[in-house]
Amino acid sequence: MSFTPALRAELIKIRTLRSLVGSLAAILLTTVAFSALFSASSDKNEPDQLFRTFFGINFGEIAAIAFGATAVAGEFQGGALRLTLAAMPDRLRWFAAKATAVALPALAVGLLTGVVTAVVGKAAFGDLGPSWGQALRGALGCGLQLTLMALFAAGLAAVLRSGVATLSILIPFLLIVSFVVGDLSGSVADFLPDRAGQIALHSTWDGSLGPWTGLAVSALWAAAALVAGAWTLQRRDA
């Protein structure tokens, strides 16, 4: 089987599994809802209104990693991977199709989430909020970061072969470890996968990374996880 039919098959899996569709919907709903609540309760004169507009991405990232982890981990349950590899013996080609199938809907939902969040934030802050140029940059950064977090989780799930194990590591990391490290050392926190990409959502940033270099760091984390997942897939029995 070539790459295109494999990709089509993986997209069908995502479209027909309610848990995956629910995770995609949660990315949009949680990001927009928490961003709107935070924007409505914020002091309109405080600096960096752009990040306040996109504050809900902290929760949207959790939904994104749940989507990426579940999409891959489901292949390791009930012998599903054996059936998949019977139709697609080339493991690397299949994993590339799986990663692409995770990235495409995550990017589409992520960009939609970014645009809706930007519009809601502009409505909440009015003239005191970020400019439309900043809001559009934030919307693009939001979509890319959510996609990268989904791919990061997908790669880790391929290594661990368990959605529960992946979420047990990443959710505490996002909710606890990242904040603790950020409070202790901002320069170190800039290079964490969840924090680096969020630099694009700030109006100004004093750290060593900029908006696009921050996203590049997140992309390196996602690429490393996917490479590790592909390496593990090649060396373990289905």
Summarised one tens digit per residue, pLDDT across range 24-33 is 999 999 999 9
DSSP alpha helix (H) spans, 46-90: 49-53, 57-73, 80-87
Give the mean pLDDT of 217-221. 96
The total number of structural domains in the chain stands at 1
DSSP 75: G
**118 within 8 A of 136, measured Cβ to Cβ:** yes
Select from 194, 199, 201, 192 the least CA-distant residue to 214.
199
**189 within 8 A of 177, measured Cβ to Cβ:** no
Q: What percent of the chain has pLDDT over 90?
A: 53
User: How many other CB atoms are there within 10 angstroms of residue 176's CB atom?
Assistant: 10
Summarised one tens digit per residue, pLDDT across range 129-139 is 778 888 899 99
Position 177 scores a pLDDT of 72
- pTM for the complete prediction? 0.92
Summarised one tens digit per residue, pLDDT across range 149-192 is 999 999 999 999 888 999 999 988 887 777 676 555 557 778 88
Summarised one tens digit per residue, pLDDT across range 75-98 is 888 777 788 877 778 889 999 999
Position 79 scores a pLDDT of 72
What is the per-residue DSSP string for 164-218? HHHHHHHHHIIIIIHHHHHHH-HHHHTTSHHHHHHGGG-S---SS--HHHHHHHH
- Domain assignment of residue 149, given as a range: 3-235
Is the pLDDT reported for residue 117 higher than 70?
A: yes
- Residues near 151 by beta carbon (within 8 Å), at least 6 away in sequence: 68, 99, 102, 103, 106, 222, 225, 226
- Residues near 25 by beta carbon (within 8 Å), at least 6 away in sequence: none
Is the pLDDT reported for residue 46 higher than 90?
A: no
Secondary structure string (H, E, C) spanning 15-56: HHCHHHHHHHHHHHHHHHHHHHHHHHHCCCCCCCHHHHHCCC
